[in-house]
Structure 1
Amino acid sequence: MDSKVVNKSTSSHENIGAVRAIIKLLLMAVYLGTLMLWVLMPTNTYRQNWLPHLRAKFGFTTYFGAQGTTLLIYTFPILFIAVTGCLYLHLGNKLNDNNVLERNGKKHRLGIWKKPMLVKGPLGIVSGIELAFFMMLIALLIWSLSNYLHNSFADITPQSAAEEGVKVWQGKLESTALRFGLVGNICLTLLFFPVARGSSVLPLFGLTSEASIKYHIWLGHMVMTLFTAHGVCYIIFWAVTNNISEMLQWAKIGISNVAGELALLSGLAMWATTFPPIRRKFFELFFYTHYLYILFVVFFVFHVGISYSLIMLPSFYLFVVDRYLRFLQSRRAVRLVSARMLPGETVELNFSKAPGLSYNPTSIMFINVPSISKLQWHPFTVTSSSNLEPEKLSVVIKGEGSWSKKLYQVLSSPSSIDRLDVSVEGPYGPVSTHFLRHDTLVMVSGGSGITPFISVIRELMYASTVTKCKTPQVILICSFKNSSDLTMLDLLLPISGTPTELPNLKLQIEAYVTREKQPTTDNSKLIRALWFKPLATDAPISSVLGPNRWLWLGAIISSSFIIFLILIGIVGSYYIYPIDHNSNQIFSFTLRAFLNMLVLCVSIAATASAAVLWNKKQNAKEATQIQHMEGSTPAGSPNSWFYNADRELESLPRQSLIQATIVHYGKRPELKRMLFECKESSVGVLVSGPKRMRHEVATICSSGLAANLHFESISFSW
């Protein structure tokens, strides 16, 4: 009987793998076809031959007008990738974790391309794959701009310029201004993909939203550079041709200049606050100013019209779906069970979690505390393991900014509180992990950079003790400024859910205290635990779309887009078309754009709300089942296992961690020597911490002196 079950399971995995392979080929074909379309778009072949043929055949004049062709060739393929990608990811979740965490078979396939190629510079740490795609984008932009300018300049002659009432150089200036805008729209088309946290597109490329923020930053700089050049060139053109009044034009038909200027001003306000010195020093200004993206997009659509703006619609469409789902999740009050207060203004928050919610190590969660700020949301590392702690979720918050410091003050105030209102979004993280592929894991951290590695170690604790899976040797190299910060090592063990033994996990902890020659003496009293009394209405953290979230997300994207097409078709057929063809006037482009945006938002809100309400019933059942979890409040607070190492401890995991820990005072780790001493065939090197530390480790791994080092940076500072 057992043999039949095993064979059935193996056959099921093989079938799922085959289906995923077919889907992957299909997605690759659609992706390459879309990429080829963007390459051909600036050519005369596309504009003079292909596009007129497509408009004649697929224009859908009565229902959609000219925007029908744009929907077909630009919007539909990307949304098809997103929906089909949801199915691909759902099938991936059905596979056994041990099959996803492939070991030595495929771990070196892209090893060379994933190594850092650039370490220092404006782009930060860039791998070979990232550099290749970045250069491809730059090549596309140069190709597009050069083709646009070459083809347009060929039509500008002294005779044609005289007919327009301008000089040749003035005509070329106007043409250049327009082409800057067209090329800027290429970057705008990609701008929103990296910030759709729950999107299915990023995981298809092995990316997470947090790791992709740097792509959003790169694209944002390109967008604003090109659009600023677009606006400045037009202003210069109007000034030299004595048509400066054009700046005040809001045309009913065609381009609306005022809308474009308002979009540019909104973008410039955002852009000014994104540079690191301003963003880090005045984070709240950056945070609130970034909401101007709403005005930027709205006025951009008013500026160019809905037909052309549909080219950039797919990424923004997916972003709106994701943003609305995040809004619905953030409306729930979650159940905060306890907190551990550590020195150095560090706090661990422990939430109740629905058992059906699973996530991978290095995930993050966005947290809002209304009593501190109703609008501010901050990302923090999830330190718990959904396997080791199926009913708890923990995050660690280090007091490094005004918001986090105020939270620590509230929790550590003498007047004890028994409840704290908290809202969350997430968790968000990788769809799979590859830690088991390596023979050795070296994790290098500085300060609060240790937090993502806590979840990795807890997951490996589960894998080595519960599933008896072979795990790699783990070397944790952590640096702290003061000896009191060593208490962060206490977070390696959760308050509950710790395995009874850790004999199978080979763990070595090298802790460095850089600013002290010897330890202080009274740190054992610095850890304090708070236990809260949640309300009955507080819900455990759960996925907003339930365990089958990828299927639900695909259903939301596809159904909302179909509803959007139906409603726009009805509006176009029975309202816009009669005005355009049965009267002496043309329907306002601005009103047409507004109706499209309104229908889009209504379609997404209706379908997403229905899906969330459907899943809310199941979440409510789970919440009722685990309401008894909190139990009684412990009589005392936990002491630090590190500073009580000389006492006899009953917990074998604590004894194991103490024995595995070596503390070095008054010096920094010799990272180059320690990494080169790892002689195993595959060594995964993970680094999280200050920029200087990440660059140092990246330089060592990319030096070519040790081919067995596989680098990965985990950075949450943009």
Structure 2
Amino acid sequence: MPGTSPFELDLRIHKQPAIGCHIALVMLLSPRQLTSPSTAVWWLYIADINPSKFDNQVEELKMALIKAMQLLATAVFLGWLVIWIMMPTATYTKNWSPKLRAQTNSTYFGRQGTSILIYTFPILFIAVIGCIYLHLVKRIDNCRRSISDTVAWKRPVLVNWPLGIVSGVELTFCLMFLVLLIWFYSKYLTTNFSKLQPSDDREELWKARLDAAAHRLALVGDLCCAFLFFPVTRGSSILLLLGLTSESSIRYHVWLGHITLAVFSTHGVCYVIYWAVTNQMDEMLKWANADVANVAGEIALLAGVIMWATTVPQIRRKIFELFFYTHQLYMVFLFFYLMHVGISHFCFILPGVYLFMVDRYLRFLQSRNRARLVSARLLPSEAIELNFAKSPKLTYEPLSTVFINVPSVSSLQWHPFTVTSSSNLEPERLSVIIKKEGTWTQNLHRTLAKPLVHDCLHVKVEGPYGPLSKNFLRYDSLILVSGGSGITPFVSIIRELVHQRTTLNRPTPVVLLICAFKTSADLTMLDLLLPISGNVSFSRLDLQIEAYVTREISKSPSDDAQNIIRTISFKPLQSDTPLAPLLGPNGWLWLAAIVASSFVAFLLLIAILQRFYIYPIDQNTNEIYSYAAKSSLNLLFMCICIMATASMAVVRNKKGNSKEAKQIQNVDMPTPVISPSSWFYNADRELESLSQESLVKATKVHFGGRPPLKKMLLEYDGSNVGVMTSGPHGMRHEVAAICSSGLADNLHFESISFSW
């Protein structure tokens, strides 16, 4: 619109409102368009020379777009779900399926086109819409608070079950999914059994039914597989649309994995029995060229069973390395599953697998960078705080997690840890706390504890991943219950509350932190509530800390030297880079572009392959083109498209990150501070800072017993109290049971899941 006066522009927009909406949408998705002063003047005229009205109109437009996207995503998902529900019915097989195949079968996609259209495309469309939705939500503070309210997990209804702590909403959806599986299988059986002709030979009839039952079990497994990979896609827009995170959804992956492999194992056993009773054991060694490949299915099942066997809690927790390495067999499982059923059938589960592949490759690109590790704090409690340099553009919410790899300890193992820093309070630092427990953490602690000069430590980081909103801000009061190293998720919450109260001057909930430690040395964990900069005061935050030391009946003299927190500063290397958003500040829009463009490119490649290579072979010869070869080519094209589009997006944003990395200067680390345990033993000692003083005044230490949780929770005053717990299994279940008992209506249990 160059050369158009503001008055003329105003008249044009009033006459054609669509122009104004179009410009507003462009401005919303590309804020850089407002850099021109003349453009800003135009917008003031559009807003009737009222800047506040202009802001309100933009906010209203954003909210309208957000609601429209929510409705659209919900409608598409329900339609996709209806297809699965109707699949085993005669209506689908006799009416819907023939019409769909007739309208979508072409020389460019063949039967695969139908599967892509009704099983793959809807979910990828939701993922793209979800990315745009999250980009808009991220810019609206009020909406960020209300998201979790729309999908709020209610108080627990099941505690101490094999499933753990399960809320009413979770239980409802679990039961609905089980009903869907039962319906799916039973309807398939009744439909299929009705087609079997009664025969005087009862032996042949039960064999035919066994064959049909085994075949339909595989379709039930497909339904489970269709949902299996969504919970482990860490940067998933679909999970955040539901108010979930990958951390909180891991147990859904565990439940689905158990059901999937139980169903597939039964499917395999039934077919072995069927081949045995029909004298067709040679079928186990067949790899059909244009049909189901039995050998590939057996290899996939074997890989799945090995993974399944190592998920037993005793193995996963005590021999984590075995669990970790065998779980990489998922690639073998997926590849031979594809070879077993062919690409057309694989499209049933392709959406979850495709989004997981995009996420996994982006994580691979991020893990290629060496993170700039600034310092480490070693506590007498054998905990470690690692402090990384980060870009101010990298923002995250409390309770976020990062995955860390230290090649000098293990080149392959990645372990998740809760982020304890606040991206608002510490814009150039990201911190995590690691408790010395397993083999990996013991080796890391041993490496840092050596009395040598630490020039550098090679560390790789993936993430952070976390919630989109601050759920805890909606409560008037917060009760945070922790045991041992379980205090780490609450460190980020308290630091964020300090920022909200001191920097933004916003009202914050009253906080009661109940923490239990084994020994007084573990009290040093409380010192990590203070950032390493130490320039934080809790005086304006209504914070009360009740610390319980369970294995010591009274405080005894302690050597101050044993309670010194040792701080290690690391020398920066030129190859180290501060943590930065992999796809830039507009990461969700870039992710939407990657998913959409890679999938379109994939469709173009397979269309060319089908039309000009496979289709002529199928038409001009008596043989059908090999299913395995076609599936392999599809997989190859898929990987190429994902890698190409994701790499271009990362390289595009890496230039901006590199410029910013050069501007980040190293900050000298403060000298070691005295730990809280020595504060309580030397109350007459002059405190080193006002930060420590405010923390000491808020803390009360109890010796020789566990915290009386039931009494403290039920007697706590407040009309709207959020209760969060992190720590040992027994403590979490005890708190959940108290909140779900109905004895106090003001307690609202907030589930925190870190169940790796």
**Do structure 1's residue 517 and structure 2's residue 517 form an aligned pair?**
no
- Pairing 1:265-304 to 2, within 5 Å after superposition: 265-304=302-341
Residue deviations 1:448-501, cap 9 Å, x none?
Answer: 0000000000000000000000000000000001110000000000011633x4
C-alpha separation in 2, matches of 1:223 and 1:66: 26
Deviation at 1:670, TM superposition (A): 0.8
**Do structure 1's residue 30 and structure 2's residue 70 form an aligned pair?**
no
Number of the residue aligned with 2:111: 66
Partner of residue 101 from structure 2, selected from 38, 50, 55: 55
Structure 1 residues 107 and 146, CA, compared in 2 at 3 Å: closer, same or farther? closer
Number of the residue aligned with 2:187: 147
Number of the residue aligned with 1:126: 166
Number of the residue aligned with 2:488: 451
Number of the residue aligned with 2:371: 334
**Do structure 1's residue 346 and structure 2's residue 390 form an aligned pair?**
no
Partner of residue 573 from structure 2, selected from 524, 535, 546: 535
Runs of 4 or more consecutive aligned structure 1 residues displaced over 4 Å after TM superposition: 3-7, 106-111, 159-162
TM-score (norm 1): 0.96
TM-score (norm 2): 0.91
Structure 1 window deviating more from structure 2 (304-313 vs 677-686): it is 677-686
Structure 1 window deviating more from structure 2 (258-267 vs 278-287): it is 278-287
Number of the residue aligned with 1:681: 719
Secondary structure, aligned partner of 1:94 = coil
Structure 1 window deviating more from structure 2 (35-44 vs 73-82): it is 35-44
**Do structure 1's residue 637 and structure 2's residue 672 form an aligned pair?**
yes
Deviation at 1:253, TM superposition (A): 0.8
C-alpha separation in 1, matches of 2:50 and 2:420: 39
Structure 1 window deviating more from structure 2 (640-649 vs 166-175): it is 640-649
Partner of residue 416 from structure 1, selected from 428, 453, 462: 453
Number of the residue aligned with 2:415: 378
Partner of residue 597 from structure 2, selected from 547, 559, 566: 559
8 Å CA contact 1:388–1:498 kept in 2: the answer is no
Structure 1 residues 641 and 25, CA, compared in 2 at 3 Å: closer, same or farther? same
- Pairing 1:153-192 to 2, within 5 Å after superposition: 153-159=193-199, 167-192=204-229
C-alpha separation in 1, matches of 2:391 and 2:506: 25
Secondary structure, aligned partner of 2:413 = coil
C-alpha separation in 2, matches of 1:542 and 1:574: 44
Partner of residue 587 from structure 1, selected from 614, 625, 644: 625
Number of the residue aligned with 1:101: 145
The number of residue pairs the alignment matches comes to 704
C-alpha separation in 1, matches of 2:377 and 2:318: 28
Deviation at 1:447, TM superposition (A): 0.4
Deviation at 1:522, TM superposition (A): 1.9
Deviation at 1:282, TM superposition (A): 1.1
User: What letter matches 2:114 in structure 1?
Assistant: T
8 Å CA contact 2:85–2:184 kept in 1: the answer is yes
Partner of residue 466 from structure 1, selected from 500, 503, 515: 503
Structure 1 residues 277 and 94, CA, compared in 2 at 3 Å: closer, same or farther? same
C-alpha separation in 1, matches of 2:151 and 2:659: 44
Residue deviations 1:146-188, cap 9 Å, x none?
Answer: 00110111112244989xxx71011111111001111111001
C-alpha separation in 2, matches of 1:498 and 1:553: 37
Deviation at 1:120, TM superposition (A): 1.4
Number of the residue aligned with 1:578: 616
Secondary structure, aligned partner of 2:161 = coil
Deviation at 1:517, TM superposition (A): 1.1
8 Å CA contact 1:345–1:405 kept in 2: the answer is no
**Where does the alignment leave 5 or more consecutive residues of structure 1 unmatched?**
none
C-alpha separation in 1, matches of 2:151 and 2:115: 36
Deviation at 1:584, TM superposition (A): 2.2
Deviation at 1:315, TM superposition (A): 0.3
Deviation at 1:673, TM superposition (A): 1.1
C-alpha separation in 2, matches of 1:253 and 1:43: 26
- Pairing 1:312-331 to 2, within 5 Å after superposition: 312-331=349-368
C-alpha separation in 2, matches of 1:67 and 1:497: 60
C-alpha separation in 2, matches of 1:370 and 1:110: 40
Structure 1 residues 65 and 109, CA, compared in 2 at 3 Å: closer, same or farther? closer
Structure 1 residues 559 and 161, CA, compared in 2 at 3 Å: closer, same or farther? farther
Number of the residue aligned with 1:226: 263
C-alpha separation in 2, matches of 1:577 and 1:308: 18
Structure 1 residues 625 and 237, CA, compared in 2 at 3 Å: closer, same or farther? same
C-alpha separation in 1, matches of 2:615 and 2:149: 58
User: What letter matches 1:603 in structure 2?
Assistant: C
Number of the residue aligned with 1:437: 474
User: What letter matches 2:521 in structure 1?
Assistant: S
C-alpha separation in 2, matches of 1:376 and 1:650: 39
8 Å CA contact 1:149–1:179 kept in 2: the answer is yes
Number of the residue aligned with 1:508: 544
Partner of residue 17 from structure 1, selected from 51, 58, 63: 63
**Where does the alignment leave 5 or more consecutive residues of structure 2 unmatched?**
1-43
Number of the residue aligned with 1:393: 430
User: What letter matches 1:439 in structure 2?
Assistant: D
C-alpha separation in 2, matches of 1:704 and 1:448: 29
Residue deviations 1:406-449, cap 9 Å, x none?
Answer: 10010011123121000000010001111111010000000000
Residue deviations 1:365-408, cap 9 Å, x none?
Answer: 00000001100000001000000000000000001100001100
Secondary structure, aligned partner of 2:621 = coil
C-alpha separation in 2, matches of 1:310 and 1:179: 17
8 Å CA contact 2:144–2:468 kept in 1: the answer is no
C-alpha separation in 1, matches of 2:382 and 2:157: 37
Deviation at 1:502, TM superposition (A): 3.2
Residue deviations 1:100-147, cap 9 Å, x none?
Answer: 235xxx987766x61101111111111111111111110010001000
User: What letter matches 2:76 in structure 1?
Assistant: V
8 Å CA contact 1:191–1:216 kept in 2: the answer is yes
Percent of matched pairs sharing the same residue: 57
User: What letter matches 1:288 in structure 2?
Assistant: Y
Secondary structure, aligned partner of 2:507 = coil
8 Å CA contact 1:694–1:713 kept in 2: the answer is no
C-alpha separation in 2, matches of 1:125 and 1:646: 45
Secondary structure, aligned partner of 2:701 = strand
Structure 1 window deviating more from structure 2 (518-527 vs 478-487): it is 518-527
Deviation at 1:642, TM superposition (A): 4.6
C-alpha separation in 2, matches of 1:6 and 1:593: 57
Number of the residue aligned with 1:657: 695
Deviation at 1:681, TM superposition (A): 1.4
Number of the residue aligned with 1:84: 129
8 Å CA contact 2:389–2:578 kept in 1: the answer is yes
8 Å CA contact 1:158–1:167 kept in 2: the answer is no
Secondary structure, aligned partner of 1:643 = helix
Secondary structure, aligned partner of 1:193 = coil
Partner of residue 746 from structure 2, selected from 708, 712, 716: 708
Secondary structure, aligned partner of 2:384 = strand
Secondary structure, aligned partner of 1:420 = coil
